[in-house]
Every structure is written in C-alpha cells, then in structure tokens.
Amino acid sequence: MRKWLLAFVMGALFIFPSFAFAQNQVSIESVNVSLWPEYDKAEMLVINYITLSADTEFPVQLDVRISADSALHTVAVGESSEGVTDQGVDYTTKKDGEWLVVSINATGPSIQVEYYDPNLTKKDDGLRSYSYRWLSDYDVTDFVAVFQQPFDATGFKSSLPLQDDGVHPDNLQYYFSDAGTVPAGKAFAFDVSYQKPTDTLSISRLDIQPVTVDENTPGRVSLINYLPYIIGGFGVVLIVGGLVYYRQSGRASSKKSRRRHPAHADGEESASDVYCAQCGTRARSGDRFCRTCGSRIRQSDDS
C-alpha cells in the first residue's frame, strides 16, 4: 500500500508541474528588431517589435531580456503593431546577471520594447561596431533584423546576410535580414559595423518636408464652399436690419407729431386770451370785470 501511495505522489509531482508549464507556455510568432545607430543619441537605439502567436490567451506575462546596462525607453502593448500604446502598461524590471529582464503583463498580441544600448564602440579611425544578443524563454517562429545606416556612414556590414531595403522617406538607407526560427533558450547574436567620420546624429540632418495644404486636405475648411451661405446670411442681416430701422424711425416720427399737437393747441388758446388793462391779470372766459383790481375787462369786440 505504501509503495502505491509513494508512486502516486511521485507521479503527481512530475505531472502537475509540467501541466502548469504547458498552460503558461508562450509562443512568439515573430520578432522584428530594428537597430538605429547614432540616431538621436550617440548610442544604439534598439526597437523590438514582438508578435505573439494567434492562440495566446490574454492577459499573459512575457519576459524580454535586454542588456543590463541599457536604458529602457518604451514598453507598449496593443492589438497590432500600429496600435500599440504605452499608456497603462503593467511591467516590472529586474537584473539577472548580464541581462535586464522586463516582465510585461501583455493584454494584446503586439508588444514593443524600445531601449538605448550604450555598447556601441567607436574608434579613432571612424570605425563603429556593435554586437546584438537575443536570449528568450520562448520559441520564435520568424526573427527579422532591420538596420538603419546612419547619416554620413559608409561600408555598412553585418555578420548576417544583408538585403537592400532601399532609401526610406527619412532619406536614410535601410537593410534587413531574415534569420528564420530561433528556439527557446538558444542565444542568438550578430555584429554590425560601419565607417563614420563625424559624430553628427542622423536626426539632425533629416529633411523636414513642407506640408502641402489644399482644398482636399483632411480637416481643412474651405471658405469657397461656404461663400454662398455667407453672402446669403449677410443679405438676410441687411434686410432684417433695414426693417428694424424703418419701424424704429416710423415710431420716432409719430412720437414727434404727437408732441407737437398740444403745443399747437396752446398756441391757439394763447391767441384768444384776455388780460386786464389795469393790472395785467389774465381773465377767465366769460369774465366782465378783473378778479384782482375790479376794472372792467375789455373784450376784443369792444375795441
């Protein structure tokens, strides 16, 4: 009985850990590593674009190793390489010997890890060289390296077979190399070298192209399209303003005429007034004698 119990316990110890490992296993569909030497710093800018396999269940933890002395710049996650964002990304870092392990809580299949590696060596004769290393706990189905040739650089070489990728819109020459499958736990490395007589950074020589804005530019408001509406609205304002002015001026003239009538009536009344010849007191209608001095009031018909 004890032998059967011991065998059961030993079997559980072997079965359950392997089962848990299988549940947490991550497979990387592709890794696209872009190397931009002396772009905006006198170092190597490394941009890792990682795409997880389609059957990955999220969220999942992904560990990415970079050189221990590198300066981590960006960690971004998204549903696609064009839609990654660094907002709200949960990740931690810890040193493990010569590596800095970046543990990312991936909520989508696309991950971008960007950092500056100071291990770009320079010699007095203008020779630059750099060694890139990749070590991962996950299988990589397709590993591609993309190289940006710095401004004023010549003789760009790599230990990987280079293919010409042409001059991109930034007016810099690019190369790429498809390394294929990289198994988990296998160290993968390659070298890059070139000649550069100056320390001028590539970003300082990028041509800024003027933006052409015309009627078809998205977001631009063309006054020509709205000119008829503007003229029509201005005409309506003039008409309404004219009507208001006409009504106001009519009311004003009516008020003036009303004010003048009482004055005209007063004038007529004053023309028929009679005053006492002795004291000058104004007599009322029908008075024959002055109410002040008693003198006889002379009517107009008496004269």
- pLDDT by 10s per residue, the chain, length 303: 555 555 554 555 444 443 333 335 799 999 999 999 999 999 999 999 999 999 999 999 999 999 999 999 999 999 998 999 999 999 999 999 999 999 999 999 999 999 999 999 999 999 999 999 999 999 999 999 999 999 999 999 999 999 999 999 999 999 999 999 999 999 999 999 999 999 999 999 886 555 565 566 555 555 666 778 788 888 888 888 888 887 777 666 655 555 554 544 444 445 467 777 778 778 777 777 787 777 777 766 555
Q: Which residues of 119-148 are buried (b: 16+ CB within 10 A; e: fewer)?
A: ebeeeeebebebbbebebebbbeebbbbbb
Q: Which CATH superfamily is 25-198 part of?
A: tricorn interacting facor f3 domain (2.60.40.1730)
pLDDT of res. 47: 98
Rg (Cα) of the chain, in Å, rounded? 49
294 — alpha (psi -120 to 50), left (phi > 0) or beta? Answer: left
Rounded-to-integer distance, Cα 133 and Cα 93, Å: 18
Q: What is the pLDDT of residue 263?
A: 46
What pLDDT score was predicted for residue 301?
56
Alpha-carbon distances of 41 from 57, 72, 124, 172, 298, rounded to whole Å: 38, 14, 19, 16, 120
The first and second tokens of residue 64, run together, are 């990415």
Q: Where are the domains of the chain?
A: 25-198
Listed residue (46, 63, 192) closest to 118, CA to CA? 46
Query: What pLDDT was estimated at residue 256?
Result: 54
Task: Output the pLDDT for position 243.
Answer: 84
End-to-end CA distance of the chain: 163
pLDDT of residue 213: 58
